[in-house]
Amino acid sequence: MIDKLIEKIQKTGAPIVVGLDPMLKFIPDHILKQAFAEKDETLEGAAEAVWQFNKAIIDQIADLIPAVKPQIAMYEQFGVPGLSVFQKTVAYCKEKGLIVIGDIKRGDIGSTSAAYATAHLGKVKVGGSFCSAFDEDFVTVNPYLGSDGVQPFIDVCKEEQKGIFILVKTSNPSSGEFQDQFVKSGVTAGAIGAQMGGITFEDKPLYEVVGEKVAEWSAQCMGVNGYSSIGAVVGATYPEQGKILRKVMPHSFILVPGYGAQGGTGKDLIHFFDENRLGAIVNSSRGIIAAYQNEKYDKFGPEHFADASRQAVMDMITDIDQAFAGVGK
């Protein structure tokens, strides 16, 4: 799957993924009113508004980008109707030729992770049939439970030619509460006593230790372009850590959230890429889908919100291009 993503990035010239993270406050009033008129102010009405909002944006940006990333929580808040729209959005994006990264951040004990992996990447056996539930191309995975929680996803990736992005250094402000803590690399709780014998262990931030594990896992799903379908999530808001992790995970594609609304800029992204401008894909969510609410795109207005999203994508492409053009100057 990573080779397919790379091909689409090269074709569009845009290492960009648009986060389809709809909230009702992002949806223009005319869409909300129409949806509520049809289905009342219910979960079904909210889900219909989300669908119409998503569809309009997808139609306007599909030719510019290689991938989208719907965040499942934004759909789950509307219950079963919301999950139905999540499924519908995934299917529609794939019809449009887009790679779909399901932002689900799952990770649990082995059997539970296996069920999550089956639901989102694989096929479940129902009697004599095998059925796909959500059928994304990639999903995001939380590695906190260790290999038990990650390996089931990798196994399904190998079976179905899919991929995952594992959380390593996330873009949120409090990520450092755990991820920046220094730990004794290579030491488990049961082995701490070994230090008493004079053995010295290297102190590393937890994100770097996780990155080393991702590099190890990545060997299981290598593509022909030198990158693995086992990738990592590293926030644009932490460019120095990104520079370190690019070296730690030389064969892992990096999904980079935090651009735009969270403060990341084009110049912050350079070190996430390799010398061929590959190795990373940058996410922007509300900066794209809610662009019409930004003063910069006032001229479009709510009626042309999807046109504002298209312009925001083009501006993001330009920003990244200019950042690369400035390297070495």
Q: How many CA atoms lie within 13 A of 215 on its CB side?
A: 14
Q: Look at residue 197 and tell me whether its pLDDT is greater than 70.
A: no
| Residue of 4, 96, 105, 184 marked active site | 105
Band of the pLDDT at 198, cuts 50, 70, 90? very low
Q: How far is CA 98 from CA 12, 62, 80, in A?
A: 11, 7, 24
Query: Cα(111)–Cα(117) distance, rounded to whole angstroms?
Result: 10
**Residue-range domain boundaries for the chain:** 2-324
Question: What CA–CA distance (Å, rounded) separates 220 from 224?
Answer: 13
pTM: 0.93
Cα–Cα distances (Å) from 253 to 5, 62, 180, 235, 269, in that order, read 10, 22, 21, 13, 13
What is d(CA 108, CA 114) in angstroms, rounded to the nearest whole number? 9
Helix (H) and strand (E) counts in the chain: 12, 12
DSSP H helical segments within 230-304, as ranges? 239-248, 286-289
CATH architecture of the domain with range 2-324: Alpha-Beta Barrel (3.20)
Confidence at 102, pLDDT banded by 50, 70, 90: very high
Residue 193: pLDDT over 60:
no
Query: Catalytic: 11?
Result: no
Q: C-alpha distances in angstroms, 293 versus 62, 75, 165, 288, 312?
A: 21, 21, 30, 10, 11
pLDDT at 223 over 60: yes
Whether residue 113 has pLDDT greater than 80: yes
Task: For 166-186, write each residue's pLDDT tens digit.
Answer: 999 998 889 999 999 999 876
pLDDT tens by residue, 272-322: 999 888 999 999 999 999 999 999 999 999 999 999 999 999 999 999 999
